[in-house]
Amino acid sequence: MKKALLLLGLFLLATPSYAAFTFGNFVRSASFTSDQETPTITLTEDGTDSILIVVLIVQADYSGVTVEYNGNAMTSLGGKINYTGTQTMRREVFWITDQTSGNTLDIDSTGETTTLGSGGGMSWRYEFFTYGGVDGTTPIGETSINATNFTTSNSGSPVTTSFSFNPDVSNSRIVQIMQIQGSTCAINYNGDNGTDRKEMECGTMGGTQNCVGLSDYEPGSGSPYTLGQTWTPNFCSNTGYGWGIELLSAVPPTPTNTPTITPTPIPTVVEALFVVGSTPLTAADQIINDAMVALAIGVEVVEDQDAVAGDATGKKFLWISSTCNATTLGTTFRTVAVNLGSHEPFQYDDLDMTGSGAGDRGTNGSETQVDIEIPSDFLADGNPSGLVTVSTTSTFSFGVPNGNGVLVVSEAGFADGSIFYYESGATMFNSLAAPARRLGFFFNDTTASTANAAGLGLLDRAIEWLAGLDPAVMPFQVILID
């Protein structure tokens, strides 16, 4: 049975601050046509929590070339053939951490099908750059190194090469590499976000020109976004490829003095059962889980295929994700005497929260707003009556309660229930008296990932309501300070 306990504990030490990233140096080699061993290269950023990144550019296809620094093998991030004109060009990225300056960089093609110097004057080139402040163990997060992020142009005006990026964490630095191949030198490089580190530099490789520019950017968010790099083809045919590499930050050593304790709200300890379609959690399910954790709620996760009614025993409430298969769950939790929330609309009729007709529960696509029907209700989160934007374009779940339910929030332009509930004992469909509180919520499979602060605020209130932390159950707390 796949279950995981994701939180225990109430008070946390202050999260350590992260070391600042520092850019070191950028060096670009001349082209060469034989295996390369470059003695005593200089790394401006070196030692603990530093990274050396080497980009190898080859005027041919190849596989398996090794790159070593100071006799230590560098790790490949992979490479793609990303220019095919009169000659094939291939690029590959290698990295290694925690090295010291003044040692040998060794590029070896021994035993490859296409060795350096073969193929009628095949030409190679490398460039390397360094950063400090990276995680010495796991320095690389998301990457975008492929053959599809490119722009071909012969304009005399600036053009932009863009690529989508989804960082692993919010406090990383994205290194942006612009590689350009063509008949002459491109000019005027700049990254549209962040700081330019290397202006456009070009050099001949075989019968073509190869150019490179470098910049970096700290987005301050783990949300997906698009990065652009701008360059000018200079009236000659050039193809520019945009790459991105996410550097993860180093955590400074634990201080030797007594750590600072971050005060947290005095929590009410409750336990929740979170029923999901699969583990590990999807990004959206992780956001919902984290919202419970932020309220000091211990969360137990169970997959729908393994869920049984007994899993709810001893829990304060349970939450059913829309990533669940409604048919798999069926009526498993229909009569459990535990507060229950769900954003899987096709569970609503199994739970007798709605009817089973097509218009009784379901989803609506391309939604961004909800309509606050009862602004005074705790679940309205203090929003005034009327439309509230809660998400970028997303699919919303809906359900239509009967007259004994309370419809707090509807979907914009529909009478459907976005947030509705039954208090314990209220008669639901098929004459079932609600065994405990029942709540329907408008999130669908990915809505938590697209929700804004208003949408996540509604989620927090829903969790608190299910946990019995709303004023109807806990009108006030008295905290005595000695």
Domains of the chain with CATH codes? 22-247 (no CATH), 270-466 (3.40.50.880)
Give the span between the Cα atoms of 461 and 76, in whole angstroms.
46
Give the span between the Cα atoms of 165 and 333, in whole angstroms.
40
Residue 11 has a pLDDT of: 28
Per-residue exposure over 429-458, b if at least 16 CB sit within 10 Å of its own CB, e if not: beebebbbbbbbbbbbbbbbbbbeeebbbb
Give the span between the Cα atoms of 63 and 66, in whole angstroms.
9
Residue 325 has a pLDDT of: 95
- The sign one gets for the Cα dihedral 358, 362, 365, 370 is positive
Residue 114 has a pLDDT of: 46
Half-sphere exposure of 349 (CA within 13 A, CB side): 11
- Give the amino acid at 398: F
Helices (H), 407-473: 447-450, 453-466
β 317-320/339-342 pair status: parallel
Angle between helices 283-294 and 453-466 (to 10 degrees): 60
Is the bond into 280 cis (omega within 30 degrees of 0)?
yes
Residue recorded with tokens 């098929």: 430
Residue 416 has a pLDDT of: 85
Radius of gyration of the chain (CA): 28
Residues 318, 336 contacting (CB under 8 angstroms): yes
- Give the amino acid at 202: C
Q: What is the DSSP letter of 32?
A: B
Please report, in tens digits, the pLDDT of each residue of the chain (482 residues total): 444 444 333 323 333 333 478 888 888 777 666 666 676 788 888 899 999 998 888 766 666 678 889 999 999 887 655 455 555 667 788 899 999 999 988 887 664 444 444 444 456 788 888 999 898 888 888 888 766 677 888 888 888 888 777 888 888 888 888 888 776 666 777 777 788 888 877 777 766 777 888 888 888 777 777 778 887 877 777 777 788 888 888 864 444 454 455 554 444 445 899 999 999 999 999 999 999 988 878 899 999 999 999 999 999 999 999 999 999 999 999 999 999 999 999 999 999 999 999 899 999 999 999 999 999 999 999 999 999 999 999 999 999 999 999 999 999 888 789 999 999 999 999 999 999 999 999 999 999 999 999 999 999 999 999 998 877 665 444 444 44
Give the span between the Cα atoms of 10 and 166, in whole angstroms.
31
Residue 143 has a pLDDT of: 84
Task: Note the pTM of the prediction, 2 decimals.
Answer: 0.48
Residue 208 has a pLDDT of: 72
| DSSP string across 286-329 | HHHHHHHHHTTEEEEEEEGGG--GGGGTT-SEEEE-TTS-HHHH
Q: What is the DSSP letter of 15?
A: P
